[in-house]
Structure 1
Amino acid sequence: MKSIVYQSYRTHQVPDWIATCMQTVRAWADSHAFEYRFIDDAFLAYAPDWFRAKADGQICPTTDLARLLVARELLAQGYERAIWVDADLLVFAPEKLTLEVTADFAFCHEIWLFTDETGESQISHRVNNSISVFCKNNVHLDFFIDAALRIAQHRQHIGKLDIGTIFLSQLRSILPYPLLENVGILGPELMREISLEQARHLIDYARRLKAPLACANLCASLHGQTIQDIALEHSLYEDVVQRLLASRGEIINRFYLAPA
């Protein structure tokens, strides 16, 4: 299957850890003989001006739409499969990152861990598009594009997750579709524990996985914020990247429990 992996990010002031993430994706693509294409900030212009105005400078909803439009363009160019990968996704076990897609598109199973006001772990199961896969002649891509535009048209302001996680999760609640199970989504608590070599929340998280992780999205959109006294600064991201690469993900996967 003629496949292409595509990513986008700015070309100036690129954090070292983002550059590392993208290098791991490109190496993974090369190992599978997938073509690879990097798109600079011109990627954002795929979203109409009115859409970007309603997003009010937020990158997430703009890229949520742009990745769909570029996928359609790539498939029209003759590729049989277009694979979007977020720039902040780190591949630490490339041999485990296989795209066993049983339908003509796929997103990721997001297990989001957070702590409540009592300090207890809470888990939500959602859909994430940090890896988005679309195959040629699928009947769903145009629907996703149309839905994104319709959602935006009927709102004065487009929220950060409106076009991606919220819409895709709500859709799947009534229309089940396959998800990639080996893609992690690491929130602040998990990032801190990886950095400090702690395991309380990591154990809760890993035991809910349906497969060992091959990669993880590090949620760059939270960079610079302080959430529950966790400062999401450059040094934390750098440390987490290095620990995940050094352990090849075992810092999380060691707690995974395979189904009996």
Structure 2
Amino acid sequence: MTGTEAMPPGTVVFQSMPEARQPWVDKCMTTVADWARHHGADYRTVGDAGFFAKIPVWVLERCDTWINPATDLARLLTARRLLATYSYAVWVDADVVVWGGDFLPLPRPLDAAFARERWMEHWPDGRLRFLDNVSNFVCAFAAGGSFLDRHIADVLAAIRSATGPLKMGVAGTSLLTRGYPRETFELLDGIGNFSPALERALATGAADDVWAYEAGLTRPLVAANLCLSHEDRPFQGVAADAATIPRLVDTLAARRGPLWPSELIGRKSHVRPA
């Protein structure tokens, strides 16, 4: 299927975000809505009341440090409800910006699909560290598939059995990356995850760091998650610059095709991923 072919009827793209949010988040969500409609899918936003309506109280009580485990579960429960009337339900985090929608087909998995994530951070000694993860900032499910119900049960079990304060990815990235063989679901490429470390590298023009991230990509990017969860928290001891993400959103939303991250700093790498 090419990027310009419309999806068959019965696909919904859905998102959720509190009413109080930064303007740049609205801009991201607009790019997702445009992408969905361009490919012939319905687009829905779900308010907090409906999004968290089916979350068990004990789950919310455990999410006193990070809300992410509750939202990880909420997107799955919402997808299951939507699949009563749609053939495919596609979740996209509110902080995902799409700039190459023509080149990003809407996922139509046989069962389930999740984003392939290359995560960039630093070791304590300052060296770069990269993790090859599976993440749910974009995920899709097919009606009649078996994985969604299994995953909901696994998420509840992971939240229930975790000791101490719940970590951010206990029901999301950590579970998806280490809890299942990779062949369990389809992996979506071309959607980056711009960690705070990568965002700082882009903002400061740290070409070596950007090239190191880029070297592990399988293709140029057409969308990216911008890590809203870390916006108001220091990451690895470094506080976020409030202007970095809004500037990045403006730059990316103005693009119309695939790009390598080094193009954002005007320092194209001479060595492209194989």
TM (normalized to structure 2)?
A: 0.86
Amino acid at match of 1:232: A
Q: 1:210 to 1:168 in 2, by over 3 A?
A: same
Indicate if the aligned counterparts of 2:11 and 2:88 stay in contact, CA closer than 8 A: yes
How many residues are treated as equivalent by the alignment? 257
Indicate if the aligned counterparts of 1:4 and 1:34 stay in contact, CA closer than 8 A: yes
**Using the alignment, how far apart are the partners of 2:241 and 2:27 within structure 1?**
16
Structure 2, unpaired ranges of 5+: 1-7, 264-268
> Which of the residues 248, 252, 260 maps onto 2:261?
252
Q: 1:230 to 1:153 in 2, by over 3 A?
A: closer
Q: 1:174 to 1:191 in 2, by over 3 A?
A: closer
Alignment of 1:102-113 (within 5 A): 103-113=110-120
Q: What secondary structure, in the 3-state scheme, does the structure 1 residue paired with 2:224 have?
A: strand
2:147 corresponds in structure 1 to 140
Q: What secondary structure, in the 3-state scheme, does the structure 2 residue paired with 1:163 have?
A: coil
Q: What secondary structure, in the 3-state scheme, does the structure 2 residue paired with 1:250 have?
A: coil
1:54 corresponds in structure 2 to 62
Amino acid at match of 2:209: H
2:249 corresponds in structure 1 to 241
2:266 corresponds in structure 1 to none
Q: What secondary structure, in the 3-state scheme, does the structure 2 residue paired with 1:200 have?
A: helix
Superposition CA RMSD, Å: 2.1
Q: 1:152 to 1:230 in 2, by over 3 A?
A: closer
Amino acid at match of 2:127: E
Alignment of 1:190-229 (within 5 A): 190-228=198-236
Q: 1:240 to 1:230 in 2, by over 3 A?
A: farther
> Which of the residues 97, 114, 120 maps onto 2:121?
114
Alignment of 1:54-93 (within 5 A): 54-56=62-64, 58-76=66-84, 78-93=85-100
Q: Determine whether 1:41 maps to 2:54.
A: no
CA apart distance, 1:120: 2.3
Amino acid at match of 2:205: E
> Which of the residues 157, 168, 172 maps onto 1:160?
168
Structure number with the higher helix fraction is 1
Amino acid at match of 1:58: W
Q: What secondary structure, in the 3-state scheme, does the structure 1 residue paired with 2:58 have?
A: helix
Amino acid at match of 1:240: L
1:150 corresponds in structure 2 to 157
CA apart distance, 1:92: 1.6
Q: Please list the CA deviations of residues 157-176 of structure 1 after superposition, one character each: whole Å capped at 9, or x if unmatched.
A: 43211000111111234755
**Using the alignment, how far apart are the partners of 2:78 and 2:86 within structure 1?**
12
Structure 1, unpaired ranges of 5+: none
CA apart distance, 1:101: 4.8
Q: 1:23 to 1:200 in 2, by over 3 A?
A: same
Indicate if the aligned counterparts of 1:104 and 1:135 stay in contact, CA closer than 8 A: yes
Q: Please list the CA deviations of residues 215-235 of structure 1 after superposition, one character each: whole Å capped at 9, or x if unmatched.
A: 111111101223356431431
Indicate if the aligned counterparts of 1:82 and 1:135 stay in contact, CA closer than 8 A: yes
Q: What secondary structure, in the 3-state scheme, does the structure 1 residue paired with 2:177 have?
A: helix
Amino acid at match of 1:107: F
TM (normalized to structure 1)?
A: 0.91
Q: 1:245 to 1:195 in 2, by over 3 A?
A: farther
Indicate if the aligned counterparts of 1:9 and 1:40 stay in contact, CA closer than 8 A: yes
Amino acid at match of 1:11: E
Indicate if the aligned counterparts of 1:211 and 1:258 stay in contact, CA closer than 8 A: yes
> Which of the residues 191, 197, 214 maps onto 1:183?
191
**Using the alignment, how far apart are the partners of 2:36 and 2:162 within structure 1?**
37
